[in-house]
Amino acid sequence: MDRIGAMARRFGLGETTALDLPGERGGLVPTREWKLNRFSQPWLDAETVIYGIGQGFILATPLQLAVMAARIANGGIAVTPHLTRDHINERRVEPRLASEYPSMNIARAASSSCSTHGHGGQQ
């Protein structure tokens, strides 16, 4: 559970995307401490299972999920979405957040395979 949460945060979940619009919220990447403080109940192993597939207490906006997908697609480079054309011609390269993980290449290959083969596996 802790490792899932740490990786989710590395992909930008649980924080704002720095969108050029006031009022954005960061969502929630829950922790054991959060659940204990919020509900006075310990984290259950079954909650880790559903947490791993994006269900349960985790909260993310569609834009945060798009940013996460962009980080997977571009090799882990952090992206910042913008609403204005002023930023389109600027080239911003930010530090790589997740590309040092072998799982990044696995996720990218599976995503590519799903779009070309329809099932995500090898043929």
pLDDT of the residue at 91: 54
Taking only the tens place, the pLDDT of each residue in 44-100 is 999 999 988 888 999 998 888 988 888 888 877 888 887 765 545 555 545 555 556
C-alpha to C-alpha distance for 64 and 13, rounded to whole angstroms: 6
Q: Quote the crossing angle between the two packed helices 62-73 and 102-117, to the nearest 10°.
A: 100
Taking only the tens place, the pLDDT of each residue in 12-48 is 888 888 887 778 888 899 999 999 999 999 999 999 9
Is residue 6 scored above 80 in pLDDT? yes
CA dihedral 85, 91, 97, 100 (to 10 degrees): 140
Residues 90 and 82 sit within 8 Å (Cβ to Cβ): no
Which has more confidence, 77 or 103?
Answer: 77
C-alpha to C-alpha distance for 8 and 26, rounded to whole angstroms: 12
pLDDT of the residue at 7: 85
pLDDT of the residue at 39: 95
Domains, the chain: 2-117 (3.40.710.10)
pLDDT of the residue at 10: 84
DSSP class of 59? B
